[in-house]
């Protein structure tokens, strides 16, 4: 009798710059997954909530929410990239160049961009670029990320990781073709406040409603997105392998909840998510923690007669709102600090939104 103990993911010596991994997940996006995610995140951006609104913008139907696509791409890549990782370190240049719809089938691949061992030699940082594509080969989400990985190699890994596979071409677009056509946004009888003109550079919004993370909720979503890292759902594994000695909430969910917590105030009239950048998780989140969001308006720019672009710095905190932390450097990048770090900060990221101008202003 042969006993095998297969392991997935990779350690530092298993990565080679230029390798491409075609991740094995091949998933059709059903309405059940999308409904569960929509109910959990409660994001207010109208094109992703309303079929009527989306069609008025020129979409075939309601597009899949960008954070769902990001979570799928991140999770699919865990199998080949980060199932042995210590931590996910950064979100870089996240884009959503094409719309994706319920019923589409998505797959992902990742290219190794760089491998940097630490000076101590016990770990290193791996940078990868991941593309999530639909059944037509169109890239619906692309992003770079960095992971902190243990030194060594993974023994007994099944040989089906497809290194040197062909990767789709990464799109440089920020807008899908439907919105590049500059179709006038629909007018609704009611809706959220916060049009492009209502925001001023330097404004800070401390969003007051929080989200307490449920134990079963975060594990169900993690597994619906096919994230296979045991640190998020295997309590026995976590007793010896988790820094918290228990399950840690998957960071893509923390990011999604924080973005959604601010959506009524800054995204209720958004037409598209133009991308995310300079993102990181300074501290972990556990079940039972309550998340809060705070937003700073970094810049504004004109797009066309009907819309403009807001650049936002968004910070998520746990168990306290950001109100008492603004003067302590809430919006300063945490990983660049030598002192004054905030233990309450769990995610920070820059986001660009295409936002409607106020109807009937002319």
Which pLDDT tens digit goes with each residue over 169-200?
A: 777 878 898 887 666 667 776 788 899 999 99
Share above pLDDT 70 across residues of the chain, in percent, rounded to a whole number = 94
C-alpha of 158 from chain center? 28
- pTM assigned to the model: 0.93
User: What mean pLDDT do residues 104-124 have?
Assistant: 92
Closest by CA position to 50, among listed 184, 175, 179, 191? 191
Superfamily grouping for domain 12-178+186-356: Hotdog Thioesterase (3.10.129.10)
- Say whether 353 sits in a helix, a strand or coil: strand
pLDDT surpassing 90 at residue 2: no
- Mean pLDDT over the full length of the chain: 91
Closest by CA position to 256, among listed 324, 342, 296, 314? 314
pLDDT for position 39: 94
Nearest-angstrom CA–CA distance, 276 and 279 = 7
- CA-based max dimension of the chain: 79
pLDDT for position 183: 66
Of 6-15, 68-77, 231-240, least confident by mean pLDDT is: 6-15
End-to-end CA distance of the chain: 79
In the numeric block, the tokens 């900060």 are attached to: 345
pLDDT for position 361: 56
C-alpha of 64 from chain center? 13
Of 155-159, 267-271, 297-301, 327-331, least confident by mean pLDDT is: 155-159
């Amino acid at each position: 009798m042969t006993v095998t103990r297969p392991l997935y993911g990779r350690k530092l010596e298993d990565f080679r710059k230029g390798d491409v991994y075609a991740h094995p997940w091949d998933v059709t996006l059903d309405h059940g997954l999308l409904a569960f995610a929509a109910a959990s995140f409660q994001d207010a951006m109208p094109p992703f909530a309303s079929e009527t609104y989306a069609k008025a913008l020129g979409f075939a139907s309601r597009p899949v929410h960008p954070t769902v696509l990001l979570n799928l791409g991140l999770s699919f890549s865990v199998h080949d990239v980060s199932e042995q990782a210590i931590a996910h370190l950064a979100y870089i240049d996240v884009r959503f160049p094409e719309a994706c719809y319920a019923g589409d089938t998505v797959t992902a691949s990742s290219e190794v961009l760089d491998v940097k061992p630490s000076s101590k030699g016990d770990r290193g940082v791996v940078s990868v670029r991941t593309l999530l594509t639909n059944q037509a080969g169109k890239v619906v989400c692309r992003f770079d990320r960095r992971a902190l990985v243990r030194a060594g190699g993974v023994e007994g890994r099944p040989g089906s990781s497809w290194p040197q596979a062909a990767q789709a071409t990464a799109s440089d677009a920020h807008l899908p073709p439907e919105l590049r056509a500059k179709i006038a946004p629909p007018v609704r009888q009611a809706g959220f406040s916060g049009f492009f003109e209502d925001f001023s550079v330097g404004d800070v919004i401390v969003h007051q409603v929080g989200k307490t993370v449920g134990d079963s909720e975060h594990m169900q979503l993690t597994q619906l997105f096919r994230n296979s890292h045991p640190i998020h759902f295997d309590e026995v594994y976590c007793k010896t392998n988790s820094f918290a000695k228990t399950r840690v909430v998957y960071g893509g969910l923390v990011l999604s909840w924080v973005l959604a917590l601010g959506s009524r105030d800054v995204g209720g009239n958004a037409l598209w998510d133009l991308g995310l950048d300079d993102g990181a998780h300074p501290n972990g989140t556990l079940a039972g923690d309550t998340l809060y969001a705070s937003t700073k308006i970094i810049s504004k720019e004109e797009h066309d007669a009907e819309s403009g672009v807001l650049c936002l710095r968004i910070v998520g905190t746990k168990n306290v709102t950001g109100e008492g932390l603004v003067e302590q450097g809430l919006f300063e990048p945490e990983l660049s600090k030598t002192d004054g770090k905030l233990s309450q900060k769990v995610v920070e990221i820059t986001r660009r939104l295409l936002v409607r101008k106020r109807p009937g202003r002319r």
